[in-house]
Structure 1
Amino acid sequence: FVSASHVVLPEFREYERTSTVALNAYVGPLMARYLSRLEQSLPRQTTVRIMQSNGGTISAATAGREAARTLLSGPAAGVVGAAYVAEASGFRRVISFDMGGTSTDVSLIDGAPTQTTEGKIGPYPMRLPMLDIHTVGAGGGSIAWFDAGGALRVGPVSAGADPGPAAYGRGGSEPTVSDANVVLGRLVPDAFLGGTMRLDAERARLAVGKIAERLGSSAELAALGIVQIANANMEAAIRVISVERGYDPRDFTLVAFGGAGPLHACELAERLRIPRVLVPTTPGVLSALGMLATDIVKDYARTVMLRPGGPLDQIEPAFGELEERARVELGAEGIAPDAMRLDRFLDLRYVGQSYELTVPFQGDVAGTVAAFHRAHERRYGYADSEEPVEVVNVRLRAIGSIPKPMLERRPEPAPWQPEPSGERPVIFGRAGAPIACAAALYERARLGPGAVIAGPAIVTQYDTTTVLPPGWTARVDAIGNLIAERAAPEREWSDAR
């Protein structure tokens, strides 16, 4: 197996280039052998597509040669899925919130998922194009613990799926976020995994009781603290990809998925003043839908290092060479010419800077430089139109459109209120104090289009649980997505007591 840097990453910056090609050489042989065996085991007419970190797919042969392009493919598929279902419901500006058992992945989608070339795998830089995804060690299995100073922490260490949280009854004894949600009444023991796996509430209480004993508090108050710390960690992650990138989260919709995302989404949105939460019909497998909804995408780049006032006539020939290569490679993937789209970009920076911003090419350098100034202002809070700008790289994104699954859209009747299947006591936090509420229970499968429910409520389904706190209402739209919005504040809390 040969991994050549001029093929994997034909850009300057030797350390990042070396790190990227080394990562490719590390995973490439294993990936190539696996994909080769997979293709041989399938019928000859079967086409295998592999998800990439950039939100697109490539052929198995390409993935075997350039395996580093797939290192963050799972989270990337979730982001694509979030964008797909949100757009079907009429929302193009969304923040994807994927919370599983070990970690949480968040990403911002402003019409399209945001991209970056400044990724890392552990401590190692990887300069290949990828979706701008920020990950924190906060999941349902994240363990609560005390640091050397006696402060309560949550994660990044996780109980995983085996033994898992104490409530799983598989030998786990450490207090986790899931155990805290059981103690608070937010996870319904008899409804977990559609009733096929019963949670052990007593084991969860014993595990959380260790934290409560150290704090000198009740198990409920300790559980509330665990959940609030986990929420704070995830809130910080969302601020990284929104506020620190120049975006106001109040202008976006939070798309919650993964097994644990809908449990925490409304409280998280409230902390960030995000007005709306969207829970897809199948949040536990949204990444799989994302893989089906993505196009074939290939990224190309070339370093040109053109100073202002210098010969800029090299840009068009560089684009031309990349476009010729892209058409050939997309054609080899079975894409017809009329299904190809080629998007041009430039990496620009002020002279003397050590970092660049990628800006869509506007057809001429002057227009692209003006767009760079605007992007720099939004990202870093300042811009200087008098400062000279240099072109570092030319980039090309080649997209081959392929058929996508159609989401079933049913007629949406007038709003109607479904009957709850029951109710249970659930604990929420208000000004740091636990408040017990009687929450209505609903089964997601029984909530058809037009259904409207009010919090406090819990919606159960096979692959997740959605928690609707007091002050929130939710409706089911024509494609089955659950759209939750916050109502007016204080009266709802007083009514819920």
Structure 2
Amino acid sequence: MEHPSRSSSGWLVAADIGGTFTDVIALGPDARIVPVKTLSTPPDFGTGVLDGAVDALRLAEAEPTDVTGVLHATTVATNAILERRGAKTAVVTTAGFRDVLEIGRLRRPALYDLSWRKPEPLARRRDRHELAQRISADGSVPIPVDEGELRRLARQLSGDGIEAVAVCLVNSPLVPDEERAVADALRALLPGVYVSASVDISPEMGEFERTSTAVVNSYVGPVVHSYVTDLGAGLRRRGISAPFSIMQSSGGLLDARSVAGKPVQIIESGPAAGVIAVQKLARLLGLDNVVAFDMGGTTAKASLIEHGRPFVAGDYEVGGGMNRTRAMGKGAGYTIRVPSIDIAEVGAGGGSVITVDTAGAVHVGPQSAGSRPGPACYGQGGDSPTLTDANVVLGYLNAEAIAGGRVAISPALARKALEPVAGEIGKDVLGAARGAYEIAVSNMTSAVKAVTSERGRDPRDSVMVAFGGAGPLYAAELARELGIGKVVVPVHTGLFSSLGLLVADTEYQAAAPYQPEMRDLAVLAGQFDVLREQVRAGLAPARTEAITFERSMDLRYRGQRFELRIPLPDGPVDERSLVATFARFHEEHLRTYGRASGDELVEVANLRMRGVVPNPVRIDRALALPPDEGRSPSSRVCRFATDVTTPVIRRTQLDAEPKPGPLVVEDMDSTTLVPPGARARLDTHHNIVITWNDSEVPE
């Protein structure tokens, strides 16, 4: 799999689908950037990608044959789960384990909500089937699979109209070929049915997590396969035949064909691309600890990058609402155990709907107006008040058009939508709009705290990098609330996730459960060698000499349920490297949980190998300023604590000398708000740097 960005003689096209906008960036061989922002096109999101790509090439005056790579971040897998329109899925498991999905981990995200109900499993109980086979805990197979039983099962699945199957045998990670044989037999007996073997998706012990992951993979498999196939065909019809890669939840690119075989790994595709862009920018700027803050049309997301690396979650959930907490809030969605950048999320985006409950309290989100019909001010038939409408009323957004003139704005419609909210709470429209803004800021603090203070990190030790179409409107106030003294707003901020695709590395990961015989260091080293070859094969036919390998171990104390992922030092696997790894585990456990114990209590759960083909495209190549429209500075009245006449400028009208707020800085793809008490300047990479006066930042 040749990384598409290796060619320096053509154009790269990167596309990221959001809840409201689809963002496309074309990067030329001379570092020319052509950004395009267009409304998303649900339910056929691929149309927006194709239209945006064609528009970008037209603006670039480039031909489709000039494209050397297409890079994509998509929500198609997530949407299939949220909208419950995945494949009709069956589960094949060991006798006695039919109800693993219901039993789960007995966790409630809302402890005192008596009306809460667990989500319905993606595979109905009637579609979960047991085999009279057994793999013992020691890896022996006392009862092998009966071929006649498999043939009878296949006939039943066919008669039931099953479209996808997840094979999840108990203890199968110890004898993976046993489960793969069942999956291969079902593929042969059920042509056209999508079949997943859990050991090929999540080869780790833990029956619930492995079963849930395999079921999600099968449930979205046909949808993702169809989407990837259709999008590839659409690109070819438009003359684009370049390699096509998709962002994984872990932050690495992988070719579209491999993704179609393991679609569960792209659930967090879009958010991961944005975090990777921030990671690359942080390295360029020499920033050690960074909070990545992404706010788009539907949600606001936060992630922590520490010492140049984003945190990677061992498992996460999808389909259970917004991910606001790291542990106690789990249990509301479908568990997925694949490598994923750890991202906290709340329902606060530009399209988030403002409501008033029966007690008179104002709420922002999680409902969203999306792109169809969108906020009321878009004039597309929407009448629900949203944060975008509030920002227009407050004077923060251009009262004529946004997204480079592609979306017209009607202040009258924005005010009309907010009038009922103002009436219910007894305020004027401006007061209601400002109240909604402040509530949104408060909501977003929970996402940042989830990845910082709830992990034992002080947010005040970090710099915030804000991006997304709406992120720069809220970042300064959010940073002040958290005590963060500096905010960086990069160029192309509204399309920053697409920019992340341009600079992301190609990546493949493999894992294996730790087994007792691996106490022998030679056996342990041999297992890492096996994982290395799996990764090398997964990245083929990339240039093998370009691959860098990273080893890690999932460690925990005896009796614990959760692990911490700790890197293994480079060099031979010996007593010295294990001592260093265990010492780092103790340090991380103390920092995260406030306590640590001795080496004799440490258990190894899993071994991991990550292979990376570095991307030669550096982020500084993609940070060129777009053409300046040359508009003169103007001003408009903005509501803060009071009404203030506020200068409205372009990014290019800032320089190295800090300018005091309030300021509104308008780009094609976003708007940055610099409140009173803050200052803004432009650094050498065209980033807007916002700082607060010392007296304005809480200790």
TM-score > 0.5 by shorter chain: yes
Give the partner amino acid of 2:294: D
Deviates more, 1:30-39 or 1:365-374: 30-39
What is the SS of the residue equivalent to 2:469?
Answer: coil
Q: Of 342, 346, 351, which aligns to 2:553?
A: 346
> 1-side partners of 2:416 and 2:450: how far apart?
35
2:242: which partner in 1? 46
Equivalent in the alignment of 2:448: 238
Cα deviation, 1:158-187, whole Å, max 9, x if unaligned, reads 111222222222222222111111221111
Corresponding residue for 2:586?
373
Distance 1:118 1:46 in 2: 33
Corresponding residue to 1:335 among 543, 550, 558: 543
* Structure 1 CA distance for aligned equivalents of residues 266 and 541 of structure 2: 17
Whether the aligned pair in 1 keeps the contact of 2:663 and 2:673 (CA below 8 Å) is: yes
Matched, 1:359 2:566: yes
Cα displacement (A) at 1:469:
0.4
Q: Deviations over 1:11-52 (max 9, x none)?
A: 011111111111111222232344345556547973222110
Q: Which moved more, 1:87-96 or 1:258-267?
A: 87-96
Question: TM (normalized to structure 1)?
Answer: 0.90
Once residues 425 and 600 of structure 2 are traced to their aligned partners in structure 1, the CA distance between those partners, rounded to angstroms, is 56
Counterpart Cα distance in 2 of 1:440 and 1:256: 21
- Contact map agreement 1:307 1:391 (CA 8 A) in 2: no
Aligned pairs for 1:408-427 (under 5 A) are: 408=621, 421-427=633-639
For the pair 1:481 / 2:674, whether they are aligned, the reply is no
2:52 aligned residue:
none
Contact 1:20 1:126 in 2 (8 A): yes
CA drift at 1:258: 0.9
2:681 maps to 1:472: no
Aligned residue runs from structure 1 range 271-290, under 5 A: 271-290=481-500
Structure 1 Cα separation of the partners of residues 654 and 442 of structure 2:
33
Contact 1:315/1:394 (<8 A) preserved: no
Equivalent residue number for residue 311 of structure 2: 114
SS of 2:642's equivalent? Answer: strand
| Inter-CA distance 447–90: structure 2 relative to 1 (3 Å threshold) | farther
Cα deviation code 1:444-493 (max 9, x no counterpart): 2x3365364220000011111100001111111112111111124479xx
Residue 297 of structure 1 corresponds to which residue in structure 2? 507
* TM-aligned CA deviation for residue 87 of structure 1: 2.7
Task: Go from structure 1 to structure 2 and tell me whether the alpha carbon gap of 1:166 and 1:36 turns closer, same or farther (over 3 Å shift).
Answer: closer
- My pick for the range that moved more, 143-152 or 354-363, is 143-152
Helix, strand or coil for the counterpart of 2:400?
A: helix
1:400 correspondence with 2:613: yes
Task: Please list every run of 5 or more consecutive structure 1 residues that lacks an aligned counterpart in the other structure.
Answer: 412-417, 429-433, 492-497
SS at match of 2:380: coil
- Tell me how many residue pairs correspond in the alignment: 476
CA distance in 2, matches of 1:490, 1:120: 37
Query: How much has 1:148 moved relative to structure 2?
Result: 3.6
Aligned equivalents of 1:211, 1:238: Cα separation in 2: 28
SS state of the match for residue 11, structure 1? coil
- Structure 1 match to 2:279: 83
Contact 1:422/1:440 (8 A) holds in 2: yes
For 1:37 and 1:176, how far apart are their aligned partners in 2? 34
Moved more, 460-469 or 77-86: 77-86
- 8 A contact 2:582–2:599 mirrored in 1: no
1:86–1:278 Cα contact (<8 Å) kept:
no
Q: Is the 8 A contact 2:290 2:464 kept in 1?
A: yes
Contact between 1:341 and 1:398, CA under 8 Å: does it hold in 2?
yes
Deviation at 1:410, TM superposition (A): 10
Deviations 1:249-296 (A, max 9, x none): 111111111110001010000000111111111111111111111111
1:132 to partner: Cα distance: 0.4
Q: Are residues 402 and 490 of structure 1, via their aligned partners in 2, closer, same or farther at CA, if it must alter by over 3 Å? A: closer
CA distance, structure 1, for counterparts of residue 622 and residue 266 of structure 2 = 32
Match of residue 480, structure 2, among 245, 270, 275 = 270
Alignment CA distance shift 1:409-1:347 (3 Å): closer
Partner Cα distance (2:613, 2:432) in 1: 52
8 Å Cα contact 2:295-2:301 kept in structure 1: yes
Q: Which amino acid aligns with 1:349?
A: R
Give distance in 2, aligned partners of 1:375 and 1:346: 13
Q: Which moved more, 1:292-301 or 1:190-199?
A: 190-199
Query: Percent identity, aligned pairs only?
Result: 39
Change (3 A) 1:403 1:222: same
Contact 1:139–1:260 (CA under 8 A) maintained in structure 2: yes
**2:557 is the alignment partner of 1:325:** no
Partner Cα separation in structure 2 for residue 228 and residue 249 of structure 1: 20
The Cα offsets for residues 382-402 of structure 1, whole Å up to 9 and x where unpaired, read as 112366111110111111123
1:455 to 642, 661, 664: 661
Rounded to whole Å, the distance in 1 between the matches of 2:269 and 2:631 is 41
The superposition leaves residues 422-441 of structure 1 with CA deviations (integer Å, 9 ceiling, x where unpaired) of 2221111xxxxx32222111
User: What is the root-mean-square deviation of aligned Cα atoms in Å?
Assistant: 2.4
CA gap of 1:351–1:195, structure 2 versus 1, over 3 A, is same
Query: 1:154 corresponds to which residue?
Result: 364
TM-score when normalising by structure 2:
0.65
Structure showing greater radius of gyration is 2
